[in-house]
Each structure stands twice: as C-alpha cells, then as structure tokens.
C-alpha cells in the first residue's frame, strides 16, 4: 500500500513515515499544498494523511480540490480538536480525522481500518438496491427516486445508505454501522455516524429536520423506513 503523508511539520512527517514504514507501507512525503495535488496526480496513492494546517492552502481546501477528481481515502491530521473542525473535515469528504498528538498504534489502527474498508468486501454494494420509491445505483453512486429526482452520493454516504436500506425496518446500532461501513471495531467514533446521517438527510430527505427515510431510534440507533 502506498501512503502519501502531507504535512509542513518536517519532524512530524519523519515520525509518521517511520511508523508507517515499520508497518510495511510505502510512504511518499510532501510538505505543501501544490505538492499534494501533484503527488495524487502522478502517484495515485492508496491513502492520504493530510495535515489541516498546511501553508498557503489548508488541508480542507486541498481535500475539496482532490475530491473533484478522486475518491482516494483521506485521513486528516490536526492539532485542532474542536468538534466543528472534525465535522467540517468529514463533511467535505474526509474519511477520518485524527487529533495530534496521537499514539502510533492509533494511527496504524485508523489507517488499517480505512484501507480495510476501501479494499475488502466488508459491505458488498455491487448490485442495485430498491426499497419503496428509492433505488441505489452502485455504478454511479446515485440515489434515484420514483419521482425522477437523482441525488449524487459520496462513496461513504452511498455505503451508509446501502447498509441501512439493506436492513430496512431493522434498528442498527452505532457499533454495527461503524463495523460494516467504516471497518471500525469500537465505538470511539460514534460522532462519525451522526455526522454522516446528517449529511445523508440533507441530500435525500425533503425535510432533514423531520426525516421519513433515515429514522433515529432514541438510545438504540438508526433504521431505514421504506
């Protein structure tokens, strides 16, 4: 696996690269925004570890540019731990958000989880799925409504909605969703699910504040209603 590490903090890049290389990954190191975009274009990495506070252009802006052409997994690295920063990172297309300083073991766990989700068949989304007036197209990652509406979804949004629809009417707890959609085996990132549920609702619900498809079951989890 080829991992791109993008951070203007040279000692941090050296330490992160050492940890990854010891774990058997190949690492490409860059230190500014322009080099990130060039490296993505030239080397097609399997994963990007992207610092939020990059010079000239921050990591969020870089992520937006990458997402115009690529769905390569991105894990944000940041000293900013505020909830709004974490939510922003996920909303613009990040796959995870890790706050500095972090333990090497946690970094490797996050990397492995994202790559496992990317490259394994934790959740097969290869066939069309329909419930009620909603159909999911796995080729174009679109939600298609019987009234003609078509909504484009990011890969993670698609996987989440697919999993919910595949279990329509069944209450799924956060741990189950994290395991199947994200590849996590723990509940330490329960906010991740809530963030993506909100994103889904803003796209597919006519009134996101009063959802009719993706329903919250208080203290239990979420379910899809056909």
Instruction: Give the model confidence (pLDDT) of 50-93 as tens digits.
Output: 999 887 788 999 999 998 878 789 999 998 888 888 888 888 88
- Cα–Cα dist 153/151, whole Å: 6
39: confidence class by pLDDT, cuts 50, 70, 90: very high
Whole-number pLDDT of residue 38? 92
Beta strands 26-30 and 2-6: pairing type?
parallel
Whether the predicted pLDDT of 195 surpasses 60: yes
**CATH fit for domain 2-119, picks 3.40.50.2300, 3.40.50.1820, 3.30.9.10, 2.50.20.10:** 3.40.50.2300
Same fold? 2-119, 129-224? no
Which is higher by pLDDT, 98 or 56? 98
Nearest to 194 by CA among 216, 176, 209: 216
Query: How much is the average pLDDT of 4-10?
Result: 94
Domain range summary for the chain, segments of one domain joined by +: 2-119, 129-224
Percentage of the chain lying above the pLDDT 90 cut = 53
Whole-number pLDDT of residue 140? 85
DSSP code for 181: I
Query: How much is the average pLDDT of 178-199?
Result: 77
Q: How many residues does the chain have?
A: 226
Residue range 165-181, pLDDT digits in tens:
999 999 999 988 888 88
120: confidence class by pLDDT, cuts 50, 70, 90: low
Domain spanning 129-224: which CATH class is it, in words? mainly alpha
Nearest to 172 by CA among 209, 216, 213, 208: 216
pTM above 0.85, yes or no: no
Whether the predicted pLDDT of 24 surpasses 80: yes
121: confidence class by pLDDT, cuts 50, 70, 90: very low
Contact call for residues 105 and 96 (beta carbons, < 8 A): no
Q: How many other CB atoms are there within 10 angstroms of residue 62's CB atom?
A: 24
């Amino acid at each position: 696996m080829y991992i791109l590490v993008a951070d203007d903090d040279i000692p941090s890049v050296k330490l992160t690269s050492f940890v990854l290389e010891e774990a058997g990954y190949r690492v490409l190191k860059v230190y500014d925004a322009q080099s990130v975009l060039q490296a993505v274009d030239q080397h097609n990495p399997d994963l990007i570890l992207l610092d939020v506070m990059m010079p000239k252009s921050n990591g969020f802006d870089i992520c937006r540019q990458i997402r115009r052409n690529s769905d390569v997994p991105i894990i944000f690295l940041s000293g900013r731990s505020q909830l709004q920063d974490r939510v922003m990172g996920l909303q613009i297309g990040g796959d995870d958000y890790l706050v500095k300083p972090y333990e090497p073991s946690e970094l490797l766990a996050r990397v492995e989880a994202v790559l496992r989700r990317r490259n394994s068949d934790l959740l097969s989304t290869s066939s069309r799925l329909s419930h009620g007036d909603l159909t999911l197209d796995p080729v174009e990652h679109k939600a298609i409504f019987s009234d003609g509406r078509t909504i484009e979804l990011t890969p993670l949004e698609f996987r989440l909605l697919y999993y919910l629809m595949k279990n329509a009417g069944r209450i799924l707890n956060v741990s189950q969703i994290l395991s199947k959609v994200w590849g996590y085996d723990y509940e330490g990132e329960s906010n991740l699910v809530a963030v993506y549920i909100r994103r889904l609702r803003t796209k597919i619900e006519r009134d996101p504040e009063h959802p009719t498809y993706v329903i919250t079951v208080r203290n239990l989890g979420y379910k899809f209603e056909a």
